[in-house]
Each structure stands twice: as structure tokens, then as C-alpha cells.
Structure 1
Amino acid sequence: MDLILETKRLILRPLEISDADDMFAMDSNPKVHIYLGNTPFTTKEESIAYLNNVLQQYEQHGIGRFAMVTKDGNRFVGWCGLKFITEIENNHSHFYEIGYRLKEEFWGKGYAYEAAKKWYEYAFSNLKVNTLYASTHIDNKGSRRILEKIGLQLKNEYLWNKTIPCVWYASK
């Protein structure tokens, strides 16, 4: 995968196995997983498995989650990007979803919005998607604010994996 996108402060590049330490640092933090089912990673191998899954998405669908790294200092912020979902979620399947996850030290600095906005634009201008979807935990006010700010609209509430209360967003 050779796609690289840029924002004012970030480089959005494909994730690599060499990102495993940064991914583990992010995903082993319980605070990062508060709205994700409270299942933080406990081993670096979980991060490697996640990264292998992303690499498979690149091969199968030509898109996936991308690393967010700062232009000043090349610091790993987290990931953001599009994922082509083939499973059924909230009565939808075979759709593009936008998502993001950040290391705690980068929360509240506008990085998630900046990257998500770039991916939103890419989805419509380059991939020509008809509708872009996203979901987040019903209580995740920060994520909900980002999704609304980039242009998604709240559609309904549902239970993810039959247990986690979420809200469903779609583009206009």
C-alpha cells in the first residue's frame, strides 16, 4: 500500500508491523478502551495480530486504518482511516466505515478531527462512496462531536455485539 495523505499537522501512512510497540502502548491503556468494551491489550502479540488484520484489509479492499504521525517529530499519535466492513453491523453490511483511535497523550488536541476530516474528503472524492458510516459508544461525547463535525448525522442507537450501547452515524 503506497497511499500517504497529509493534513496540516499529520502524515497519514499505512500501518506497519514495526508500529507494534506504539500500538501496544495505545491499546494496553485501559482508558483507551473505556468505550470499546473495556478489553485493553495485555500482550504485544495482540497488537501484531491487529496489524496483520489491517495489512490483510489493505490487500483485500485497498483501504484500511492508517497510522497518524506528527509532521514535527514523527510521533505516533494513533490510527485513523476507512475500513470496508463485510460483516453485518446495525443491519448494514459491505459499507465503508470511518474510525480512529489515539494514544491518551494526544486526546483533546484536534488530531482525530483533523485526520477524520481528511478521510471523509478522501472517501467521497477518491473512492466515490455513496454513504460513509461510523459508530461509537453512546456515552463517548468526544467521538460523537468529531463525527458530527466532519459531517455525519446521527441515525439511531443500537447494541454492538449485543452488549455495547452505540450510536450509528451516516453521511448526508
Structure 2
Amino acid sequence: MKLVLETPRLHLRPLELSDAEGMFLLDSNPNVHVYLGNKPVKTIAESIGYIENIQNQYKTNGIGRFAVIHKESGEFLGWSGIKFITEEENNHNNFYEIGYRFREEFWGKGYAYETAKAWFEYAFNELKVDTLYASAHIDNLASRKVLEKIGLKLKNEFTWNNDVPCVWYASN
């Protein structure tokens, strides 16, 4: 996949196997997984498997989650992007979802909003999607604020994976 997006501070590029260490730092942190079902990864092999799964999404759907790289430092901050969801979620399937996840030390610095805004614009200007969706844990107020700030509207509450209370957002 050749697509690269830029924001004032960040490069957004396809995930590579060389990102495995950064992904492991991200997804092995229990604090990152508080709103994700509390299942942090335990091995770097799990992070590699996650990257390979995303790379398959690039091939199958032409889009997926991208690495977020700080322009000045070159550091892996997390991921952000659009995923085409084929399995059912909140009575929807075959839809585009915006999402992001950052290493804890980069929370509260505006990176989630910066990347989400770039992906929101890409979804409508380049992918020409009709509707963009997102979900968040009902108590994840920081993530919900980002979704609302980019223009998504709260639609309903639902339960994900039979036990995670979530909220559902849509662009219209």
C-alpha cells in the first residue's frame, strides 16, 4: 500500500513488521486496554500477528489502520485509520469505521484528534464514503470527545463482545 497521509506533526503510513516493537509497547500496556476489554498482549509475536492481520486488510479492503509516526523524532506513537468492517457490530456490517490507539505517554497531546480529522477528511474526499462510523467504550470520555470534535454524532448505546458497554457514532 502506497498511501501516506500527513498532518502538521505526524506521518500516517501503512504498518510494517518493523513497527512490532512499538505495537508491543502500545498493546502490552494494561492502561491502554482499560476500555478494550482488558486483554493486553503478552508477546511481541502477538503484535506481529496483529500487524500481519492489518496488512491483509490493506490487500483485501484497500484501507486499514496506519502507523502514526512523529515527524521530528521518527517515534511510533500508535495507530490511527479507517477499517472496513465486514462482521456485524451494533446491527451494522460492511461499513467504514474510524479508530485510533496511542501509547499512554502520548495521550492528551491532540494526536488522536489530529489523525482522526485527517482520516475523516480522507474518508469523504477520497474514499467517498456515505457514512463513517465509530464506537467507543461508554466511559472513555477522551475518545468520545475526539469523535464528537471531528463531527460524528452519538446514535446509541450497545454492548460489544457481550460484555463491553459502548456508544455508537455516525457521521450522519
Same fold? TM cut 0.5: yes
Which amino acid is the alignment partner of residue 46 of structure 2? Answer: E
Q: C-alpha distance in 2, partners of 1:77/1:158? A: 29
Deviations 1:66-95 (A, max 9, x none): 000111111111000000000000000000
SS in 2 for 1:117: helix
Please name the residue that 2:13 is paired with.
Answer: 13
Deviations 1:128-166 (A, max 9, x none): 000000000000000000000000000000000111000
Q: C-alpha distance in 2, partners of 1:22/1:13? A: 14
| Residues 57-96 of structure 1: pairs in structure 2 closer than 5 A | 57-96=57-96
In structure 2, runs of 5+ residues without a counterpart are: none
Q: C-alpha distance in 1, partners of 2:130/2:156? A: 19
Q: C-alpha distance in 1, partners of 2:2/2:171? A: 27
SS in 1 for 2:157: strand
| Residues 1-172 of structure 1: pairs in structure 2 closer than 5 A | 1-172=1-172
SS in 1 for 2:2: coil
Which amino acid is the alignment partner of residue 73 of structure 1? Answer: S
- RMSD, matched Cα: 0.4
Deviations 1:19-45 (A, max 9, x none): 000000110000000000000110111
Which amino acid is the alignment partner of residue 31 of structure 1? Answer: N
SS in 2 for 1:39: coil
Which amino acid is the alignment partner of residue 169 of structure 1? Answer: Y
SS in 1 for 2:72: coil
Q: C-alpha distance in 2, partners of 1:69/1:159? A: 32
Q: C-alpha distance in 2, partners of 1:35/1:90? A: 17
Q: C-alpha distance in 2, partners of 1:44/1:76? A: 15
Q: C-alpha distance in 1, partners of 2:91/2:67? A: 29
User: TM-score when scaled to structure 2?
Assistant: 0.99
Q: C-alpha distance in 2, partners of 1:55/1:76? A: 17
SS in 1 for 2:96: strand
In structure 1, runs of 5+ residues without a counterpart are: none
Q: C-alpha distance in 1, partners of 2:125/2:22? A: 31
